[in-house]
Amino acid sequence: MRKLKLAIQKKGRLKDESLQLLKECGISIANGGSELIAQARNFPLELLFLRDDDIPQYVEQQVADAGIVGLNEVLEQNRNVTLCEKLGFASCRLSLAIRKDDPYTGPGYFRHRKIATSYPNLLQQYLDQQGIPAIIEPISGSVEIAPSIGLAEAICDLVSTGSTLFTNGLREVETILQSQAVMVSCTKLDDARQRILDQLIFRIRAVNQASRNKYILLNAPDEALESICALLPGIKSPTLLPLAEPGWSSLHSVVPEDTFWERIDLLRQAGAQGILVIPIEKMIV
């Protein structure tokens, strides 16, 4: 039987969350990643564990059919791959940083200065857009130490929590790209593998939709139902069930996580009681 060869990161920020996402998609992996190739037990998937920076190239060359990698790498390398889906984890940004005590007046700061980075193409695009001539010093790792060893006056690197910059006495001054994990695939996949990829993406969407929403149950007096329903649109509309106590109903619906707390306050003001909130495991709309 045909399998989809999916490349994921061997070691680093993306690896654990990539494996966690597959697990939430109901895909169980026979080997936790201690070897370079692993098979899924219950889905036609073979995992290849690779350096994240190499994943776009392997997908372009069809060594892997698809891969989970940072958008930053995909855009930097500009390979011939299809960007299939943003995965919503491993969010970070590509930013310019300078020594923390240096006064910063705006992007003009970088004029004719030397900037160390592993993202020379994205940095060059940014500098061109700003019309600022600067000297790019491409290096492959440990970019954050470049200013302290005198290699460059500034850096352009990924920032997630900001702790790497902080511990190296640097300050983030401009963001040039927002990044997150994405799924990429070969531009030409055969029908069988395309179908497997489509199934995988369908499951990923169901998992991600679910994590962005909560299931909510509450009790309310019948006269408050109209205003409460207006606050809980649900997927189609809320479910209403009469309670044993006359004049009261139970209402079930789905609420987005990001507006959750404001909505709870409004529901209580409108007369809702006994509010229960339950995580949703999968959501298919």
Residues at the contact surface with ligand PRP, assessed by CB under 6 A: 12-13, 52, 141, 157-164
15, interface contact from ligand PRP, Zn ion, none, CB < 5-8 Å by kind:
none
Which one, 65 or 157, has the nearer CB to ligand PRP? 157
164, interface contact from Zn ion, ligand PRP, none, CB < 5-8 Å by kind:
ligand PRP
Residues 105 and 113: their CA atoms lie apart, in Å, by 14
Residue 19 beta carbon to ligand PRP: minimum distance, rounded to whole angstroms: 16
* E strand or H helix at 276: strand 273-279
Which one, 144 or 200, has the nearer CB to ligand PRP? 144
Contact partners, residue 246, CB within 8 Å, separation at least 6? none
Residue 142 beta carbon to ligand PRP: minimum distance, rounded to whole angstroms: 8
Residues 52 and 202: their CA atoms lie apart, in Å, by 24
Contact positions with Zn ion (CB under 5 A) in 52-81: 52-53
Residue 173 beta carbon to Zn ion: minimum distance, rounded to whole angstroms: 23
Residue 16 beta carbon to ligand PRP: minimum distance, rounded to whole angstroms: 12
Residues 17 and 30: their CA atoms lie apart, in Å, by 17
Site string for Zn ion, 19-58 (x = CB under 5 A): ---------------------------------xx-----
124, interface contact from Zn ion, ligand PRP, none, CB < 5-8 Å by kind:
none
Residue 15 in contact with Zn ion, rule: CB under 5 A: no
Residue 174 beta carbon to ligand PRP: minimum distance, rounded to whole angstroms: 15
Residue owning tokens 């069930």? 241
Residues 44 and 192: their CA atoms lie apart, in Å, by 10
Whole-angstrom CA distances from 235 to 91, 207, 239, 280 are 27, 16, 10, 13
Which one, 55 or 127, has the nearer CB to ligand PRP? 55
Q: Where are the alpha helices (DSSP H) in the chain?
A: 13-24, 55-60, 71-77, 120-130, 163-167, 191-211, 225-231, 260-269
- Chain positions contacting Zn ion, by CB under 5 A: 52-53
